[in-house]
Structure 1
């Protein structure tokens, strides 16, 4: 079994969650691959680029379990749709309906982004504003979450106080998808204080895979 962790938008493999799960897998004697989805070029980031980058890392013929955080969770869902070797998803506050939640919040900035082609975005690892191409938005708008229909066993963890991706997005995603389960937690988008609880729920499923 190959295990991957996909970090969120404007984050990196150095995020607290990425490091937490890497350490937990090390305790099991397992490696957790955590690719840098920025690829050293945040300006040209798109969902399509992330999907292609991670797809190239999949070992041919080897089953894959993906842990995806926020935008990495959305990426994981699309990878599972396109690649049958993905057999399990653990999604942390997945960014379903991302365009409809994030773009309207930009207000007038969105129109300037369309006009200039550049938006300054705060990058949590770089701890500063970085430019992002409007191609990110154009690419994102080409994806429709309703097309995600491959029945991959999926466990979603979402905070009730999530201020970035409302928990209603995960609730709607579960509708009509009996292969998806959801755990609602007393937390925000970061899910920081509930990471041990999340791991405790993931661990039996991972041990079952390793048995």
Structure 2
């Protein structure tokens, strides 16, 4: 990775920068002496506000020194950003069409890593619809890491949506991708390759 390269990590729904995979990425970059390269914001519940924040952070470093890693809903966001900024993205068990999954979560809920309540409003569904990428334009821009054992999202939807992209389909595992430490080097290597191309 170049000296001034950055990884923007986007967590999933009800998640945070303290999520398992975000901490794995942070720890690995620290071990490599590259901890300053990680940008990992707490995303607002509003998809529109989340992307405004991500764009603000990303555009400081894009397009020549940024790669994006997104998990679950963060993978959906990462795809929209990658298309907009023309940067490489790693999508981990990404939500391909969160409109059909998140409608049932409208209302007040809490994050996994906090007791602080937040509201997922009905209008956020329309905000998600506005961010949907029906078809990716440059498959080579993406690396899909998907688990067949994902109990929340169907990996076959992911494989179809990212057709032509680099794909690593893991047999078994789960939505959280408990074995993610085994794959973090592969993820960071793709980020490095994408930024330096």
Q: TM-score range, shorter-chain basis?
A: 0.7 to 0.9
Q: TM-score, normalised by structure 1?
A: 0.78
After superposing on structure 2, the runs of 4+ consecutive aligned residues of structure 1 that deviate more than 3 Å are 127-130, 203-211
- Corresponding residue of 2:177: 191
Name the TM-score, length of structure 2 as normaliser: 0.83
Could you tell me how far 1:200 is from its partner in structure 2? 3.4
- Which of 96, 116, 137 aligns to 2:125? It is 137
* Structure with bigger gyration radius: 1
Check if 1:172 corresponds to 2:172.
Answer: no
Write the distance in 1 (CA, Å) between the matches of 2:118 and 2:42. 16
Using a 3 Å threshold, how does the CA distance of structure 1 residues 123 and 203 change in structure 2: closer, same or farther?
closer
Conserved 8 A contact 1:163-1:188: yes
- Residue range with higher mean Cα deviation, 65-74 or 139-148: 139-148
Question: CA deviation digits over 1:8-42, x for unaligned, max 9?
Answer: 1111111121111101011122121101103xxxx
Q: Secondary structure at the match of 1:145?
A: coil
- In the other structure, the counterpart of 1:57 is 57
Give, in whole Å, the separation in 1 of the partners of 2:154 and 2:174.
Answer: 10
Q: Does residue 67 of the first structure (1) align with residue 52 of the second (2)?
A: no
Pair 203,128 (structure 1): closer, same or farther in 2 beyond 3 Å: closer
For 1:95, the equivalent position in structure 2 comes to 95
SS state at 2:134 partner: helix
Q: 1:190 Cα shift?
A: 0.3
Question: Unpaired runs of 5+ in structure 1?
Answer: 39-44, 114-118
Q: Cα offset for 1:206?
A: 4.6
How many positions carry a matched residue from both structures? 187
The Cα shift of 1:183 comes to 1.2
Which structure 2 segments of 5+ residues have no match?
none
Match for 1:15 among 10, 13, 19? 19
Q: For the Cα contact (< 8 Å) 1:159–1:189, is it kept in 2?
A: yes
Report how far residue 52 of structure 1 moved: 1.4
Task: Name the CA distance, whole Å, in 2 between partners of 1:204 and 1:13.
Answer: 21
- 2:143 and 2:190 in contact (8 A); partners too: no
Q: Helix, strand or coil for the counterpart of 1:94?
A: coil
Matches within 5 A, 1:105-120: 106=104, 119-120=107-108
How well do the aligned residues superpose, as a CA RMSD in angstroms?
2.4
Q: 1:6 to 1:79 in 2, by over 3 A?
A: same
